[in-house]
Amino acid sequence: MSTKKKRKEHVSKNEAHLAISSTDGLRENYGKLPVDLMVDILSRLPLKSVARSRCVSANWNSLLCNPHYTDLFLKRSSTRPRLLFTFEAEGKWSIFSAPEYLISYNNSNLVVVDSRMDVPRDYTCRVCVPVCGLLCTRDEYELSGRRDARMMICNPSTRQFKSLPKVRTRRGRVVTYMGYDPVEKQYKVLCMTIREKPFLYKAEEYQVLTLGTDKLKWKMLECSVDHYPYTSDVCIDGVLYYIAMNHKSRNDMIVCFNVQLEKFNFINFEEMEYHCTLINYKGKLGAICHPSIGNFMDGGAESFELWVTDETDGERTWSKHIHILPPMWKELVAETRVYIVGIVGTSEIVFSPFHLSNPFYIFHLDMERNTLRRVGIQGIGPVNGQKIYAYLNHVENLKLMM
């Protein structure tokens, strides 16, 4: 072997070498690339490439598990959100995802899922709206019918799932929501037990659990307004919003839970006589409402309303936009019952059927152009008839659950 070739190999090895401090994993660098630059480069890699890079060496694994790196990866991942599906089939709970931009990119009529995770059937496939890459099962009483049934946290990016401590209650039902505090960088699970008597449905025993602590434990909370929670929810800038019925007035409202302070607040919303889906609209709380019976729309629907809230000098106001569905809606949707998944960008609404079919389609409405497309989803498998749940704005999160 020539001296020149040996030197080339020697330089390559030096460039690839990365030594990491045992204190925080980011201070020392004996190679030619500064660690900060290495971290910045690696944070731009797709998830599968990062997983393979962890196998390079113990040093690389330490670097890619470092909180500084995982926080940076999560920040970058938020700019490339994903479309996520969950359903139960063949004795397991399956989670599929695909890049969200494929829904609207180049008017594509086909999306192929590129990620899959399976979880044992002990857990329900009905989950809260994903928050910063994590999922939480929605209702404890639906899990398996066992007395020891528990809720679960799942991270599809790391393929980890973890049982939560059992909620101490004599009630048969527990409703769950999940929020994220961007200040303290903490995930919290909010749950409440439900008293179910004729015409007296209401939540009781409000409890919160903070993830990432040494010992997971439910903490009791006080709530000044008795209410019955619905499932539509969204977390925006550390505030978890969900729709509920005021137990006393019987009117619907929006509950605001400050994740950091663990305090409740309430917003009256007169338009709740329609079925509404809460959304994040340009960083503001929004709601898409339609007058259809139940929470579904079909080819007979003609319009929906987009409401957006704004707060000035402590006063909250709502603006309303009525959108008339295009003529092709009746033809493409026909008798398919669909629900509003959410909004992509600022003007693209996604609808999904309640049940799987083969082939399986979702619907993409561009409000600015008032155009509708049916988008095929491939790669889920030969399943048919199962209930399916779709979510937008899911992000990849590399943080390991200990």
Domains and CATH numbers, the chain: 3-75 (no CATH), 78-394 (2.120.10)
Task: List, as own/partner pairs, every contact residues 222-230 make where C-beta atoms lie below 8 angstroms and the sequence separation is at least 24, other chains included.
Answer: 223/264, 224/264, 225/264, 225/266, 226/202, 227/202, 227/203, 227/253, 227/255, 228/194, 228/201, 228/202, 228/203, 229/175, 229/177, 229/192, 229/194, 229/203, 229/255
Share of the chain above pLDDT 90, in %: 45
Tokens (6 digits) for 103: 């829904």
Instruction: Tell me which of 116 and 54 has the higher pLDDT.
Output: 116
Q: Which tokens sit at 1?
A: 């072997």
**Which of 58, 53, 62 lies closest to 26, judged by CA?**
62
In this model, does residue 7 exceed pLDDT 60? no
pLDDT at residue 121 in the model: 67
Write the single-letter amino acid at 301. A
What tens digit of pLDDT does each residue of 130-183 get? 999 999 987 655 444 555 567 889 999 988 888 888 887 777 778 899 999 999
The residues facing 179 across adjacent strands are 188
What three-state secondary structure class fits 299? coil
pLDDT at 280 over 90: yes
The DSSP secondary-structure symbol of 167 reads P
Return d(Cα 60, Cα 50) in angstroms, integer: 10
More confident residue, 1 or 134: 134
The pLDDT value recorded for residue 66 is 85
Of 197 and 179, which is predicted with more confidence? Answer: 179
Q: Nearest-5° angle of CA 380, CA 381, CA 385?
A: 90
Q: In the predicted model, is pLDDT for residue 301 greater than 80? A: yes
> Which residues 6+ apart lie within 8 Å of 7 measured at CB?
none
For residues 32-47, give the mean pLDDT: 80
Amino acid 273: pLDDT: 64
Confidence of residue 30 (pLDDT cuts 50, 70, 90): very low
Q: Whose structure tokens read 């005021």?
A: 246
Average of per-residue pLDDT values in the chain: 83
Q: Residues 319-366: pLDDT tens digits?
A: 999 999 999 999 999 999 999 999 998 889 999 999 999 899 999 999
Q: Tell whether the model's pLDDT for residue 12 goes beyond 60.
A: no
Q: How many CB atoms lie within 10 A of CB 204?
A: 12
**pLDDT for the residue numbered 124:** 63
Local confidence band at 303 (pLDDT 50, 70, 90 cut-offs)? very high
Q: What's the helix, strand, coil split of the chain in %, to 5?
A: 15, 45, 40
pLDDT band at 27; cut points 50, 70, 90: very low
Q: Which pTM does this prediction carry?
A: 0.85
